[in-house]
Amino acid sequence: MAFPIKDTSTIRADDGPVTVKGWVQDIRNLGGISFLIVRDRHGTVQVTAPKKKVDAEVFARLASLPRESAVSISGEVKPSDQTELGLELIPQALEVLSEAATPLPLGVVDKVNVEFDTRLNNRPMDLRRPEVRTVFELKSLLRHLLDEAMAVEGFTEIHTPKIVASGAEGGATLFEVGYFGRSSYLAQSPQLYKQMVMSSGLDRVYEIAPAFRAEKSNTVRHVSEFLSFDGEMAWIDSQRDIMDVMERVMQHTIAGIKDKGARQLELLEKEVELPKAPYPVLTYSQCLDMLNSEGMELAEGEDLGTEGERLIGELMSDKGNDMYWIMEYPAEEKPFYIMEKEGTPYSHSFDLDYRGQEISSGGQREHRYDVLLKRMEDKGLDPVSFNDYLEAFRYGMPPHGGWGIGVERLLVKMLDLGNIREAILFPRDMHRLAP
């Protein structure tokens, strides 16, 4: 007899015969009766096996199954006031799809804490834990919400090379790879390519793709491979045009997580608040003043640093602002493609900070060929190495600008997670290249 296959979210007390597939979460054998908890991605169902009413072979096999074995159990659904779902499954047939080895490398529902490295070393098993898996369901939702927002803003999705001849940010953080006898690198960002496209008529583009940074950082916010959400737009009057688009995209995305991700947020016991918009704007100089008034003693031109970002986040939070801009960083500290603010040591640049952490950098780009060339030379870069990039600027490049957002950083701050690796399936950092 073929029983209809049901997942735990669709089983009803009056369903009659069904088949449930999942993992054995727990077993209790009381001699005359055995109880099995079977779990799928949606939840759990109790399988109740009275010895006198169940086939002897099925009963014996049920009672001996190791936890986390993959099974298919067919039987009759009966109402029950003793279970959370208000029903139970009386088994008629059992198929062991894959028996789990023992002991388990880590528990799925056990309350015993496990070292983070142990979790990452056994990531597939770790992902069976609903609170871990749910983060990636929200990450998938976040990705779709970004697509929705960019479509509304009239952007076209593009895909740029991830094996490149030169880096956008400089050689210190490049991963070098062999390429048919030549040197090449893993892309730090799509920066140079998305700027080149600005001269093509595709004047609003975005990409969500992996980026690679060979940074020797061992922190909870840095990894070697991450998902980057990059946008670029042409015919702008100022960087404010970019910031306005980004605000609308962020508001759409966070509101969507709050609404469409309500079930996952409830499971994680997290609340996501929509930031107040428009986002407040601070200049780099104002931030220095704020930090120095708190006793940090930073000089003009110094990086605000992780501690500085955190402190500014606290000060802004006290005013009810979770998301805010920091603008006009020193031009000396910014990449060659960022436009200088004429007559000042500053630049047309911005960071978007979320509760004390930078999640995005961007700004207006230098679109004038001769000025761009000089800026490259001032940075000690050889323009010949960027010839393909520079060619796009020789034949009528419009004013343009854009941003890059770390998708995992955004999610981590939104969910208040402790480590960026919580939001990456198989993280890559200085010490981790497997699994």
> Active-site residues: which are they?
213, 215, 221-222, 358, 361, 409
Residue with tokens 């931030």: 287
Neighbours of 378 (CB within 10 A): 12
Let me know: does 359 contact 409? Beta carbons within 8 Å.
yes
Let me know: does 354 contact 413? Beta carbons within 8 Å.
yes
DSSP-assigned beta bridge partners for residue 37:
26, 46
User: Which class for 163: exposed (0-12), middle (13-18), buried (19 or more C-beta within 10 A)?
Assistant: exposed
Q: CA angle, corner 407, sides to 269 and 206, nearest 5?
A: 140
Neighbours of 179 (CB within 10 A): 12
Task: State whether residue 164 is helix, strand or coil.
Answer: strand
* Amino acid, res. 88: E
What is the full DSSP assignment across 351-388? EEEESSSEEEEEEEB---HHHHHHHHHHTT--GGGGHH
Neighbours of 116 (CB within 10 A): 13
Residues 6+ apart with CB under 8 A from 1: 17
DSSP state of 340: B
* Amino acid, res. 115: E
Let me know: does 231 contact 241? Beta carbons within 8 Å.
no
For residue 86, give the nearest of 46, 50, 51 by alpha carbon: 46
Task: State whether residue 133 is helix, strand or coil.
Answer: helix
- CA-based torsion, 295, 301, 302, 303: positive or negative: positive
Residues of the chain by 3-state class (helix, strand, coil), percent to 5: 30, 30, 40
